[in-house]
Amino acid sequence: MSEDSSTSTHFGYKTVDADKKADMVAGVFHSVATRYDIMNDVLSFGIHRLWKRFTIECAGARPGMKVLDLAGGTGDLTAKFSHIVGETGEVVLADINDSMLKVGRSKLRDKGIVSNVNYVQANAESLPFPDNTFDIITIAFGLRNVTNKDAALASMQRVLKPGGKLLVLEFSKPKHAIMTKAYDLYSFKMLPMIGKMIADDADSYEYLAESIRMHPDQETLKGMMEQAGLEQVDYINMTDGIVALHRGYKF
């Protein structure tokens, strides 16, 4: 299923002008940038670290490779990839939001990660890189915030090298009814409350819950990746499908 190119789209459960969504999403992440890491740990009970670790393992990065960590935020994946690809490799941490990039750059530099990481402010729908640039692209918990996901997936496919791999780590649809009910209760009751207590920002975490529900399910996203020209697309459900890791290749 491909996305409509009409002038309206969704921002959580709200219908908004498509050309305004990017600014509205930017407002959310400007608001939460400085508390982003601690909120990830609190809201996921630390499980996001296991999801990201599995993504790194599935990426199969090696020394000398060039990796794009798209919507990389505060750089969790970038830090891991930097160590793996080494001095002969390169990791590009790209994000549309300058507040998140600044937090990520500061965090990685504090860890001594400097020499093989570059930072680019970029829109996933029109990536500012030549064709066939990257061996691996990851986008973790960022695709659901993109206005035109079809355009973004096509852009990622374009900048992958032949033989390259795209990994999309994103919230998805739980597989069992009891998990769905528990997840809905947590998402719509607890998330905004915790966001208010820790980040003094309930609205951003209400948007988070709504944006997850509006994101395509596992099979739909698989079809969108195939439509973008990726091959051998599959996905792995984690935590009963609350999160799924989609993988696709460019040949």
74 is in an annotated binding site: yes
CB 107 within 8 Å of CB 74: yes
Domain count along the chain = 1
Tokens of 125: 């729908």
- 242 located within any domain: yes
Place of tokens 């920002």: 201
- 138 located within any domain: yes
Render pLDDT for 23-34 as a digit per residue (tens, 0 to 9).
Answer: 767 666 666 666
CATH code for position 211: 3.40.50.150
- 2 located within any domain: no
Confidence of residue 1 (pLDDT cuts 50, 70, 90): very low
132 is in an annotated binding site: no
- 144 located within any domain: yes
Q: Which domain holds residue 40?
A: 8-176+205-249
Nearest to 240 by CA among 168, 177, 190: 177
| pTM to 2 decimal places | 0.86
55 is in an annotated binding site: no
- 190 located within any domain: no
**Residues linked to residue 165 through DSSP beta bridges, in sequence order:** 136, 249
- 1 located within any domain: no
Q: What is the C-alpha separation between 60 and 42, in angstroms, rounded?
A: 29
Q: How many CB atoms lie within 10 A of CB 213?
A: 16
123 is in an annotated binding site: yes
- 194 located within any domain: no
- 183 located within any domain: no
